[in-house]
Structure 1
Amino acid sequence: MAKVLVLYYSSYGHIAKMAEAQAQGARDAGAQVDIKRVAETAPPEVAAGFVTDHAHPEAKVDDLAGYDAIIVGAPTRYGRMPSQMASFLDQTGGLWMKGALNGKVGGAFTSTASQHGGQETTLFSIITNLMHLGLIPVGLPYSFQAQMGVDEVKGGSPYGATTIADGNGSRQPSETELAGARFQGKHIAEIATKLFG
């Protein structure tokens, strides 16, 4: 049974919901799944409106070595991952030196305020870190066909599941977006199971 970590940072709760969907997909594939979050590092005056009541424990860097797959989710900040997730990943030098994550499976998911708010550049900012750490990135293939079409506002990218939150955070992940996250989580867990049993 593959062990999967869904690691996320969420300011307003959108990414936390997507993390739950990723985890559900991985569980549907028979994986053992943990959901953990990175610590809030923004000063109190900046984080005043952020969701702080998270149900998931804070991750420690050394936790990562115990998993066969790591799915990383974070919202965009100016077209890249936010400092909270970057700071966490910047602390993985010891794991990198040991090659502790080489050959494991990785994935990314994100949220933006608008349809063109940097979803793919944010995914790539996460994926770049995963590749440096030796993980094999797995996205959201077009076999998840619900990401196609223009019948509704929706996220989705071959590089990872996404959602659109609107500028004031009022839009929650749609069923299509959550389905994409579940699909990606299941896909990653299935690949990890093939590799690690």
Structure 2
Amino acid sequence: MTKILILYYSSYGHIEQMAHAVADGVRDSGAHATIKRVPEIVPPETASAYGFKVDQSAPIAVPDELADYDGIVLGVPTRFGGMAAQMRNFLDQTGGLWHAGKLIGKVASIFTSSATQHGGQEATILTSIPTLLHHGMIVVGLPYSATDLMGLDEVSGGTPYGASTLSGTDNKRQPSERELGLARTQGRFVAHVAIRQSPGGNEAAHPV
């Protein structure tokens, strides 16, 4: 069975929720989904002072295990228009995988979050893609066949580069059903592409 890793970092639980939605989409397409997170590097006293959600059920990943999967979906919150340091720290430890070419040809995708509607979601995804390309990965986004990308009736995340959500400046806003739906669609699409890349893969039309 095609195996997809959803690897995320989440300070307040928004990306965590999106990760589970991506995993649901992966499973819908007949692939196996594993959810893991990267280690926290903020000191415990700082995390406590800022109200970080520390009781997350996903186990901590280690860099070398990325080679065990057919596809990897990164959940990366925005920090000033770029990748959160926790994910950057984790990916900076994948030099051994790069040197051995362990991730070449694997499918990769990214979803994100920001506090505000124009808070750098697209910039975060776009500036994260070079890391994946250096590893020789096949980068996929979220196609416009996901028609909720074009909705104008509510404030919502969602980009053709990957699903996204908004937390609000107080982090109290939770992912909407539209945003979670886009995350599920992204999971289905990633799994579909990964299955097609696998030996004997299914050439069925895209499921989005």
Per the alignment, in what secondary structure is the counterpart of residue 35 of structure 2? strand
Give the TM-score of the pair, scaled to structure 2.
0.93
How far apart, in 2, do the equivalents of 1:64 and 1:12 lie? 24
Q: Which runs of 5+ in 1 are unaligned?
A: none
SS for the counterpart of 1:169 is coil
Q: Which runs of 4+ in 1 moved over 3 A?
A: none
For these two proteins, the number of residue pairs brought into alignment is 197
**1:27 pairs with 2:27:** yes
Residue deviations 1:171-193, cap 9 Å, x none?
A: 10000000000000000000100
- How far off is 1:74 after superposition? 1.4
Structure 2 residue runs of 5 or longer lacking an equivalent are: 202-208
Q: Which moved more, 1:147-156 or 1:16-25?
A: 147-156
* Corresponding residue number in structure 1 for 2:12: 12
Distance in 1, Cα, partners of 2:109 & 2:44? 30
Amino acid at match of 1:139: G
Amino acid at match of 1:44: P
Structure 1 length-normalised TM: 0.98
Write the letter of the residue equivalent to 2:83: M
1:132 shift after superposition:
1.2
How far apart, CA to CA, are the structure 1 residues paired with 2:79 and 2:43? 16
Q: Kindly report the root-mean-square deviation, in angstroms, between the aligned alpha carbons of the 2 structures.
A: 0.8
Cα pair 1:72 1:126 within 8 Å, conserved: no
Rg larger for? 2
Q: What is the Cα deviation at residue 149 of structure 1?
A: 2.5
SS at match of 2:5: strand
What is the deviation of 1:133? Answer: 1.1
Rounded to whole Å, the distance in 1 between the matches of 2:183 and 2:56 is 19
Q: Within 2, Cα distance between the matches of 1:135 and 1:149?
A: 31
Q: 2:160 aligned to 154, 158, 161, which one?
A: 158
